[in-house]
């Protein structure tokens, strides 16, 4: 499997996702946009696209953040999705996935900075990729925005400050490295 990471800031590294890739012997490539590394010109060498977080939003302009091109990232995400490739978004990445698929991101009702519970909905408990986390997972948070939901999206997890935390369209994984490492049960394939 070939995994490509888009990293927006040095402090938003892939961490546990990178460990998951390495432990399985998958190939990893990167676009560290904070270091002015380009996005891939083609999706041919991408099986899984992981779009990391950052302080930007899908509406951040090049004037506001010269190294961040929301439109180019959304085009890459849309191309991967149209080709049936897996795309995972973390925080900003989930917002970009939603925007690439036609949903609008929004401000959360409340900022969440610190450790807060994330609760699975009935949809989440029935989803084999999330059910093993249990009904409630305590995770670290640092956000004030949430991804938009596309038509047909079902919320699979939420927190009090972010009612649309995770959906079956834009997966917003906020699990800390420790939780990810101790509870991961994703398939090896």
pLDDT tens, position by position, 123-132: 888 888 888 8
Q: Which residue has the higher pLDDT, 56 or 166?
A: 56
- In this prediction, residue 84 has a pLDDT band, given cuts at 50, 70 and 90, of very high
Q: Which of 32, 3, 33, 8 is nearest to 20 (CA)?
A: 3
Q: Write down the pLDDT at residue 1.
A: 96
Q: Which of 22, 25, 29, 42 is nearest to 3 (CA)?
A: 29
Q: Write down the pLDDT at residue 163.
A: 64
pLDDT in tens, 104-162: 877 777 777 788 888 888 888 888 888 888 898 888 777 777 777 787 777 888 787 77
Cα dihedral value 148, 102, 71, 169, nearest 10: 60
pLDDT in tens, 1-54: 999 999 999 998 999 999 999 999 999 999 999 999 999 999 999 999 999 999
d(Cα 34, Cα 68) in Å, to the nearest integer?
8
Least confident of 45-54, 68-77, 165-174: 165-174
Q: Which residue has the higher pLDDT, 67 or 171?
A: 67
pLDDT at 180 over 70: no
Do the strands 48-51 and 2-7 form a parallel or antiparallel pair, or are they unpaired? parallel
According to DSSP, the residues that pair with 166 across neighbouring strands are 157
Q: Write down the pLDDT at residue 45.
A: 97
Least confident of 75-84, 119-128, 158-167: 158-167
Count of CB atoms situated within 10 Å of the CB of 81? 17
Q: Which residue has the higher pLDDT, 4 or 174?
A: 4
Q: Residue 17: phi, psi to the nearest 5? A: -65, -40
Q: Which of 5, 28, 10, 145 is nearest to 80 (CA)?
A: 5
Q: Write down the pLDDT at residue 164.
A: 57
């Amino acid at each position: 499997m070939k995994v490509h990471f888009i990293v927006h800031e040095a402090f938003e590294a892939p961490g546990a996702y990178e460990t998951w890739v390495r432990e399985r012997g998958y190939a990893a490539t990167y676009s560290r946009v904070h270091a002015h590394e380009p996005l891939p010109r083609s999706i041919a060498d991408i099986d899984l696209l992981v779009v990391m977080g950052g302080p930007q939003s899908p509406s951040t302009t090049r004037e506001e953040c010269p190294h961040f091109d929301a439109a180019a990232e959304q085009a890459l995400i849309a191309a991967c999705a149209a080709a049936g490739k897996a795309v995972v978004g973390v925080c900003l990445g989930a917002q970009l996935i939603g925007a690439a698929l036609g949903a609008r991101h929004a401000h959360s009702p409340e900022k969440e900075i610190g450790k807060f519970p994330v609760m699975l909905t009935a949809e989440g408990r029935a989803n084999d990729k999330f059910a093993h986390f249990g009904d409630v997972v305590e995770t670290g948070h640092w956000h004030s925005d949430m991804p938009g939901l596309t038509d047909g999206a079902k919320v699979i997890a939420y927190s009090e400050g972010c009612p649309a935390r995770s959906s079956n369209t834009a997966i917003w994984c906020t699990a800390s490295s420790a939780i990810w490492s101790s509870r991961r049960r994703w398939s090896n394939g």
